[in-house]
A and B are shown apart, each in its own frame.
Chain A
């Protein structure tokens, strides 16, 4: 475990604000348990909880906060200089940070999704959701980590992607679904455990190829951007 990994993890967990991430998964769990205990038909609450809350809100928002936080917080504070001046190849900075971001996001999201999936249908659906969410966490984290290097306002740009591209346009213009990580995650989960609960128009091959492409592409972009990174002050 490299020093960078250790520092990033401590930067995430060392502050009380990490606790702010807990309500999202807890609400997901609570709703699933509530619906199950009241005996509502899973066909009705499944899509609302698993997709509407889990994959459309919890996964992207947690990834956004963590993914832009692992490097963005240090850029904001200016302490990124201390890492950049060490004789480390840039990929040894990006990869540990990406691993921490994706790992923490995956654990935070996959565990409640697994439980909700088990409650909704079967252990198989739970495992499929957890696996797909972990892959999605990797893709989202790579995207948002690269965003925090490309622009000074990564969170707002990330919100544009999550809210307007995936949320708003995805409902009206079906063409944008081909470029939406959320749809890839749904497609992958549906392939791993075919149920009637998850619906998407994106094919599995497109989803898997695009997820891999996004994860690798944005990581390479992040490494490249960090190679010629200029430290600036607070945005005006």
Chain B
């Protein structure tokens, strides 16, 4: 039974919303593309620690420093002895441990921090679809990894180009060597970023995320070693599929050939005639990891 007083209050509302003078925003409202771009740029800056404290820069720049140092050393040795010590693709290969460490530093910073501090609902209340958030983060990590490998390759190229003895022709030949190397670095970046980001997005604790990323990549490497000594030629040649890093190498051997292997060097991984299988597996791996990442962000924080 309603009270008489509440009925009276319902019929004559007394509440008033006062205008206390907050200024309204009537500038242009940027749409989805701008949100994506801002998130992407912020992501790239985060991976290198820009706009953050000096402590956040230690680990990314440690890796960048070591990689660049190796590239400078290779370029210097090459200019002295006149022979390339390592091709651009071989350089990318030999840096895989450092790339792995960089992913373990960067991926948790990109996604785990947002999960932990519970800001995802704030992001998703903007004109930003959930898939865009995940894709912007993924693209940022890919870019960062590609810069990490491509920058030192450029250093090696500059070193070779300025010391070449064949004039412009030498520079041109060097450039033709560099471009596949950059593509190969892009392959490393895409594979490592998609798998690493997927693992990191599973937990809000950065410590666990970093450990998980490293565990996934390190755990798979010895599997390749074991599979490649099994008494079956097919198993040996397909062994590289078991680990992301040897998968990338397999694709590289298939597509780049002697650019990766060098003369008379077998490179440890023999893929036989299974090159296309490796390429297909790489595509499936990246597509699968991205799809799982998107699926994860369809559910998280909802």
Give A residues with C-beta under 8 Å from B: 17, 20, 23-24, 27, 31, 34-35, 38-40, 44-45, 48-49, 52-53, 57-58, 61, 64-65, 68-69, 72-73, 76, 152-156, 159-160, 162-164, 167-168, 234-236
CB-based closest 5 A-B pairs: A53-B222, A155-B207, A48-B225, A65-B211, A52-B222
Are A52's CB and B225's CB within 8 A?
A: yes
Q: Is B69 on the interface with A (CB-CB < 8 A)?
A: no
B231 touches A39 (CB 8 A): yes
Q: Is B222 a contact of A34 with CB atoms below 8 Å?
A: no
16 chain-A/chain-B pairs, Cβ below 8 angstroms? A20-B208, A31-B226, A38-B231, A52-B222, A53-B219, A53-B223, A57-B222, A58-B219, A61-B218, A65-B207, A76-B205, A156-B59, A159-B214, A160-B62, A236-B55, A236-B56
- What CA separation (Å) do A235 and B108 show in the bound complex? 13
Q: Are A17 and B207 touching (Cβ within 8 A)? A: no
Beyond the given pairs A39-B231, A64-B211, A155-B211, 10 more chain A to chain B contacts, judged by CB atoms under 8 angstroms and listed by A's residue number, are: A24-B215, A31-B226, A48-B222, A49-B222, A58-B219, A73-B207, A162-B214, A164-B101, A168-B98, A236-B55
Main DSSP-derived SS at the A contact region: helix
Q: How far is the CA of A155 from the CA of B209 in the complex (A)?
A: 10
Chain B interface mostly: helix
- Interface status of B105 (Cβ within 8 A of chain A): yes
CA distance A19 to B55 in the complex (A): 32
Q: How far is the CA of A40 from the CA of B53 in the complex (A)?
A: 53
Residues on the A chain within 8 Å of B198, using CB: none
**A236, B229: Cβ atoms under 8 Å?**
no
Name the interface size band of chain B: 20 to 34
Q: Is the CB of A61 within 8 A of B215?
A: yes
B38 is an interface residue with CB less than 8 A from chain A: no
A78 to B206, CA, bound (A): 15
| A40 with B207, Cβ < 8 A, contacts A31-B223, A57-B218, A163-B100 known | no
In the complex, how many angstroms separate the beta carbon of B45 from the nearest chain A beta carbon?
Answer: 14
Cβ–Cβ < 8 Å partners of A234 in chain B: 117
Contact, CB under 8 Å: B229 / A40: yes
CA distance in complex: A90, B277 (Å) = 57
Rounded to whole angstroms, the CA-CA distance of A154 and B223 in the bound complex is 28
Interface residues of B in 24-66 (CB under 8 A from A): 52-53, 55-56, 59, 62
Check B205 against A23 for contact (C-beta < 8 Å): no
On whether the beta carbons of A163 and B101 are closer than 8 Å, the reply is: yes
Judge whether B212 and A20 touch: CB under 8 Å.
yes
> Nearest chain-B residue to A148 (Cβ)?
B207
Please give me the residue from chain A that is nearest to B53 by CB atom: A236
- Determine which of B52, B212, B230 lies in contact with A38 in the assembled complex, contact meaning CB atoms within 8 Å: B230
Given contacts A155-B206, A156-B59, A167-B97, contact A40 B230 (CB under 8 A): yes
Q: With a CB–CB cut-off of 8 A, which chain A residues contact B219?
A: 23-24, 27, 53, 57-58, 61
